[in-house]
């Protein structure tokens, strides 16, 4: 009797496991993984922390030369962002947000990255990103980053302190880059919100990753910095 019960339970668990595995759309997963690769690999090339050795690897991975990438990488990124958006727009129309239950991880981040890098599309697509985050199909930190980009694009204070700005300013008669964390709503509590959202760094630590010392600004204060 016990053997029969054990066998029945084992078969039931195997059935559930097979059913769970079968929900992954492998073709869509591969397509989204390629989109993530294209979205990220050229941005890694222009990252200040990327070594020359790694840049040479990236050139080989993308069938380029380092010289061509140095000259054209920004044009390549711009074109890829446009092409990737056309792809994910069709995917979302067909599947809704392709989350981890449909395509696994990290393929479930592909649509986020593409929308994030097409700022003029964020207002339209933010609701589905938010829904995916709240339902566990996408880590909520991605929702937080898109919300911040949406708000800063509207010249409003961000919530989680994820977005930086840059402008050229005159300093001692010379032009130099001024990089800063864009204004934050209720800045004194931002690290509490970051922790609740799932970030493992403070706003200060996150800024330092980009070589920036965090300082609290309002848009009015930034406007005065010339």
Assign residue 175 a region: left if phi > 0, alpha if psi is -120 to 50, beta otherwise?
Answer: beta
Q: Which helix (H) or strand (E) holds 167?
A: strand 164-171
CA distance 157 to 144: 13
pLDDT in tens, 55-81: 999 999 999 999 999 999 999 999 999
pLDDT in tens, 110-145: 999 999 999 999 999 999 999 999 999 999 999 999
Beta bridge partners of 178: 167
Half-sphere exposure for 104 (CA within 13 Å, toward CB): 13
The CA dihedral of 202, 205, 207, 209, to the nearest 10 degrees, is: -140
pTM: 0.85
CA distance 32 to 183: 33
Q: Where are the domains of the chain?
A: 26-138, 164-224
């Amino acid at each position: 009797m016990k053997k029969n019960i054990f066998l029945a339970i084992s078969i039931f668990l195997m059935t559930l496991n097979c059913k769970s595995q079968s929900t992954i759309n492998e073709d869509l997963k591969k397509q989204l993984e390629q989109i993530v690769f294209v979205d990220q690999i050229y941005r890694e090339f222009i990252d200040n922390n990327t070594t020359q050795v790694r840049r040479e690897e990236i050139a080989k991975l993308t069938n380029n030369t380092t010289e061509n990438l140095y000259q054209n990488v920004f044009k390549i990124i711009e074109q890829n962002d446009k092409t990737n958006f056309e792809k994910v727009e069709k995917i979302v129309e067909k599947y809704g947000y392709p989350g981890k239950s449909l395509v696994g991880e990290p393929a479930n981040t592909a649509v986020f990255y593409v929308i994030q890098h097409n700022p003029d599309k964020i207002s339209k697509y933010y609701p589905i990103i938010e829904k995916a985050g709240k339902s566990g199909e996408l880590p909520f930190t991605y929702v937080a980053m898109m919300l911040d980009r949406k708000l800063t694009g509207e010249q409003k204070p961000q919530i989680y302190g994820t977005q930086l700005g840059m402008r050229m300013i005159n300093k001692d008669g010379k032009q130099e880059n001024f990089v800063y964390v864009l204004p934050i709503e209720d800045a004194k509590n931002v690290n509490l919100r970051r922790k609740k959202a799932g970030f493992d760094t403070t706003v200060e630590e996150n800024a330092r990753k980009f070589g920036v010392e965090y300082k609290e600004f309002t848009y009015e204060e930034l406007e005065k910095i010339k």
